[in-house]
Amino acid sequence: MTTKDYQSKRPLMIFLHYFRNHWKLFLLDITCAVLIAGIDLAFPLITRTALYDWLPQQQYRFFFTIMIVVAACYGLRAFLQFIVAYFGHTFGIRVEADIRADLFKHMQELSFDYYDRNRTGQMMSRLTTDLFELTELAHHGPEDLLTSCVTIIGALIVLFTIQWRLAIIVALTIPLFLCVIMTMRRSMGKASRESKQKTAHINTEIESSLSGIRTAKAFANEDVENARFTAANTLFKTAKREFHKAMGRFHSTMELFLSSLNVIVIGFGGWLIMEGKLEYIDLLTFSLYIATFVNPMRKLASFSEMFANGFAGLNRFVDIMRTEPTLQDKPDAVELKNVRGAIDVEEVSFAYDGDLDVLKGVSLHIEPGETVAIVGPSGGGKTTLCQLIPRFYEVSEGSIKLDGHDVRDVTQRTIHQNIGIVQQDVFLFADTILENIRYGRPGATMEEVIEAAKKAEIYDDILAMPDGFNTYVGERGTLLSGGQKQRVSIARIFLKNPPILILDEATSALDSVTEAKIQKAFDALAKGRTTLIIAHRLSTIRAAGRIISIADGVITESGSHEELMAKGGMYAQLYKTQTDIARNM
């Protein structure tokens, strides 16, 4: 389904849509459940016939034959119950897995600004906790609802054939019970939604605290983190308390109803016996059917609770699926092919969330294969400009073109395939060094990975590790040094081998010796490719064909190192300051 489909369809129809791929399992589950209901309905009727006919007429052989058949039916019922429990839950898990897969795929399509506004813990909760109850709802929901209706309606039909007066009394209590269920389901649903929101909040706090555990220890702020966690945990307990209150009211009301139903049947049935309008055997049959009622009634109650829990998570799932990515490919977007690397930035302005402008009317032309260094004070707009080129964000005004194609007219995927980025904040996946390097080109051979590692000056370090390329890097690469992490990320770009490079402080975590080696490799890689280099250490960009300075969202200077030094502007001042600091160290 598309985002438009999620926006136009009701959550229930969206949920049922996921049944389609597993309809055979669903049909097996429902068929077995209906057969179980049929066996349960038959037993009281067989008991009544035995007491009225077979035993009084001394048809003992026939009676025991029927009992053997009944026992066999209950053996079949046990087998059917296994089918329902095993394959029914298998069906539910597959539905949940499909929903989670679609959710994760949609999350990958959402733009950067969505993740700027939402925390990781919230997203984790949507992918995990919110969907857990959907397995039970997908399995037990339709099954319980159908079998309960079959059992109740079937029992009522039989009861009306026995004694219509008493059957009417029983039938009139069922709508009352259903009204109570629907009323209380709404309160449980509201409490469940609030509980899930609080659960997402505590997940966010846990994710934040665990991610920052090293910082907390460094500042000896374990007590601060404990207090923050305790506050979130208390909020969570409060939400659960309200849900449990609603659930408690629901179950106590249900038990009162079921107990009262037995009293009503025995009381009114006893009066009918006194009036000579009912036989003892018929009253016993009524009691057996009331006992048969109890399980469907409990199932309806459980379904109501299950529905409240499951749909609270389903609604949160639908909310995300209805969220359209801020940046979308046009219907007629073309693929970017045979990229030469020409970049044109034309009167570009940009502001995050429409607030304070970060870039103001920036224009820049970069020839294919040209190396351009971008310098300037922090917050001046250097990184923002380099995030607009691969269209991670949409320009507020102006346009950016690659080889003459406006990036808004090109598919985002092909843009990203042709641009390689090494960022200052390195991210490594919790996997081996091999897989982290191979992430640059998943189908790469081992020889190609080794060659990329050599170019990134990380090969010797890898061989010195106990497990070599199979060394586990830890969460976010914590088992590697800062320089090693940076060089692994650089190796990824060597493997990707894109026509356009963006190096955002790519050597910031390296020592001077290693940085010099990497710089040579970058110079070799940059030949014939368009390269943008963001750097604070100006000594690393002297070889750039052109250097531009950005401050307060505008380009203040542009030229070679020698030209900018001769101007004596901001670049010259920055270079002189850094040179003086280096001499005094």
Given this model, what pLDDT does residue 408 score? Answer: 92
The residue to which tokens 């607030």 are assigned: 355
Crossing angle for the helix pair 222-274 and 280-321, nearest 10 degrees? Answer: 150
Given this model, what pLDDT does residue 421 score? Answer: 86
Fold of 429-497: Rossmann fold (3.40.50)
Residues 241, 195: Cα–Cα separation, whole Å: 9
N- to C-terminal Cα separation, the chain: 62
Q: Kindly report the pTM of this predicted structure.
A: 0.73
Q: Do 3-321 and 429-497 show the same overall fold? A: no
Given this model, what pLDDT does residue 344 score? Answer: 92
Homologous superfamily (CATH) for 334-418+499-585: P-loop containing nucleotide triphosphate hydrolases (3.40.50.300)
Query: 175: number of CA atoms within 13 Å, CB side?
Result: 4
Distance of CA 119 to the CA centre of its chain: 12
Residues 19, 578: Cα–Cα separation, whole Å: 65
Largest Cα span, the chain = 121
Residues 232, 203: Cα–Cα separation, whole Å: 9
For the chain, residues with pLDDT lower than 50 are: none
Given this model, what pLDDT does residue 450 score? Answer: 92
Homologous superfamily (CATH) for 3-321: ABC transporter type 1, transmembrane domain (1.20.1560.10)
What are the structural domain ranges in the chain? 3-321, 334-418+499-585, 429-497
